[in-house]
Structure 1
Amino acid sequence: MVRKEELTYKSRDRQTMLHAIKWIPEGQPVAILQIIHGMQEYIDRYDEFARFMAEKGILVMGNDHLGHGGSVTEGKGTYGYFCKNDPATVLVRDAHRLKKMTQEEYPGVPVFILGHSFGSFVAREYITRYGTGINGAIIQGTAFMPLGTVKSLGRFVSFMQVIMGEKYRSEMINNMAFKGYLKKIPNVRTKFDWLSHNEESIDRYIADPRDNFIFTLNGFKTMAELLKRVGDTDKMEDIPKNLPILITGGSEDPVGNYGEALTKLHDIYKNQLGITNVELKIYDGMRHELQQEIGREKVYEDQYAWIKKILDGRNAN
């Protein structure tokens, strides 16, 4: 029997109460899996996946980022807006705070993180700061953009913020970010078809105001800053060389440039940085949201098997 528990805790922005959820298995958990969700979504979208993992004895937890889901309450917060001061760092520290809180409840239990899409940028920054404190990381649906492109985007958004303010929602920047994602999809039904082949999931996404919103300029600036940080190979040197990492995504995912970005990141981690345990898993025919995709049960099983392999290796030593 999986028990679902909601909680709140204070963000490192020093003012917002963040919403979080734990999926708690029966008995002592064999591991903890922290999900770091993507942009324009929220942690409860992972309910099916989290229950699958919890039924295997893994405690699953995660928070809604600033400006997302239940962390936006009536009269407080704006969807797609993080915070004024250094939001890229605050997001990483918010995830770390929840991890520490959970570890205090379950001392000695191995901890894994899974970062999806925008959350993968947070996770990639997380492992440069706090990688020694976890047992493995799943980097899912990530991107790899040239540093020059990222810096140009950041400068452009900063310029627009001066004119329009940081909470302004720019249709132009939103189109620049996402419109190209449909170019390889035949018979486009909605502007979100790039997310998955699962029409039911896409229709739920469109109907849900917690998903279907446009990032503020502050949101896009934060994304550019995270991309700049995680694309810096000098900073990547801080990732522990023995940290197990699984890089995964779909072959039809435009965010990961149809697998090319995932392959490039795998090559940098393994061959350039010398990280000893890096795996690459690209799912043929799947798009961006693996936990929502048709055939997602295979993803669930594979990610559980990867975690179990690491746990078995620890127990053998």
Structure 2
Amino acid sequence: MEREERAFPSSSGLCSIHTIIWYPDSSIYKQPVGVIQIAHGMIDHIERFEEMAEYFADKGFVVAGNDHLGHGESVNSEDDYGYFAKGSHGADYLIKDMHRLTRIMKKMYKDIPYILIGHSMGSFMARKYACVYGDELDGVIFLGTGNQSKALVNTGLGLSYIARCVRGERYRSKVLNKMMFGAYNSHIKDNRTDNDWLTKDTRIVDAYVNDPKCSYAFTANGYIGFFNVIKYDINEKNIAKTPADLPVLFASGEEDPVGNYGKAVKKIFKLYTKYVDNVELRLYEDDRHELHSETNRQEVFDDLLEWIKSNTCSF
């Protein structure tokens, strides 16, 4: 397995987008069996997905992922963390950047299956991506997604607009941050940190807490952009734009607050079945938000591989 770091210009024109590509062992795989693109979550970065990427590279896949605009190394300075671009739809640049990476990878590898995996915020970006660019995919996996109500999204948008109007687009609101994350630890007894809801693996939680690339609050601008993508995603008319023949997998932990402990994921799964022919749902008992970081992550990886093999690849 080999790893390469690259960069390409963001569609926003603001910075370069940091990218990592993991390659399978060429002595074993003369031709990759497919390409997997990963979209990471909020206040996250692509390097945290290395274990999952290495797993799939060892199975013959080329795996690629980028730090979203305003995340990881896709910033000009730390002041840019949690900031997208001017206007109310800056998060659309994240989706356009994801598509730029798709085009780069498809130029490198033609005529092999192409699968998009989106986690958390990345799953919401991937859901809109599937509506706009779904014809370019052979399968899509939504990890740790949700189905927030219109009322909640509109409340979040309203508060974000007020924060931007009063304090500026780069203002980092404690109220918004509490609204987004404040209750996520509520189901966990004797929690050690504010981020225990991520995974039961305490080593990974501690690494996240101490990671400077995961230690900031979103700006008002970032929240507005993200909420507008969620607003798009939960609109049934937009869900109907997902290609009917695109295989879709929802996977979530039953202890994941983002998916309302499985309830919201079941609802969005049911809605997708109205418009997409091949939709599956997998819920993992006792697992929290980051399936790729959970204590049973090898089981999760094996399940994802089996789904990809069954639905997108001819092994």
The TM-score, its normalising length taken from structure 1, stands at 0.95
1:208 is aligned, of 207, 211, 227, to 211
**1:310 maps to which residue?**
311
Contact 1:67 1:77 survives alignment (8 Å): no
Counterpart in the other structure of 2:277: 276
Q: Is the 8 A contact 2:156 2:227 kept in 1?
A: yes
1:96-175 to structure 2, matched below 5 A, reads 96-175=99-178
Deviation at 1:114, TM superposition (A): 0.4
1:44 maps onto 2:43 in alignment = no
Aligned to 1:81: 83
Q: Does 1:65 align with 2:64?
A: no
Q: Deviations over 1:210-269 (max 9, x none)?
A: 012111111111121111000000011110111100001100000100001110111001
**Which blocks of at least 5 consecutive residues in structure 2 are unaligned?**
none
Partners in 2 of 1:239 and 1:34 — Cα distance? Answer: 18
Deviation at 1:77, TM superposition (A): 5.8
Following the alignment from structure 2 to structure 1, what is the Cα–Cα distance between the partners of residues 13 and 294?
37
Q: How many residues align?
A: 310
Structure 1: which 5+ runs fail to align?
none
Secondary structure at the aligned position of 1:193 is classed as: coil
Structure 1 residue runs of 4+, over 4 Å off?
Answer: none
Write the distance in 2 (CA, Å) between the matches of 1:149 and 1:206.
27
8 Å CA contact 2:92–2:225 kept in 1: the answer is: no
Q: Distance in 1 between matches of 2:153 and 2:109?
A: 39
Aligned pairs for 1:166-245 (under 5 A) are 166-245=169-248
Provide Cα deviations, 1:87-109, integer angstroms capped at 9, x if missing partner.
12211110000000110011112
Letter in 1 for 2:288: R
Corresponding residue for 2:12?
Answer: 13
SS at match of 2:38: strand
C-alpha contact (below 8 Å) 1:266/1:280 kept by paired residues: yes
CA distance in 2, matches of 1:311, 1:237: 21
Task: Report Cα offsets for 1:184-234 as digits up to 9, x if no partner.
Answer: 111111100100101000000010110121111111111211110000000
The residue identity in structure 2 corresponding to 1:243 is L
Structure 2: distance between partners of 1:90 and 1:41: 17
* Paired position in structure 2 for 1:90: 93
C-alpha root-mean-square deviation of aligned residues, in Å?
1.2
Q: Which amino acid aligns with 1:229?
A: Y
- Are the equivalent residues in 2 in contact too, given 1:71–1:77 (CA < 8 A)? no
- What residue identity is the alignment partner of 1:295? N
- 1:22-54 deviation digits (Å, cap 9, x = unpaired): 001123111000000001110010111101100
> 1:11 Cα shift?
0.6
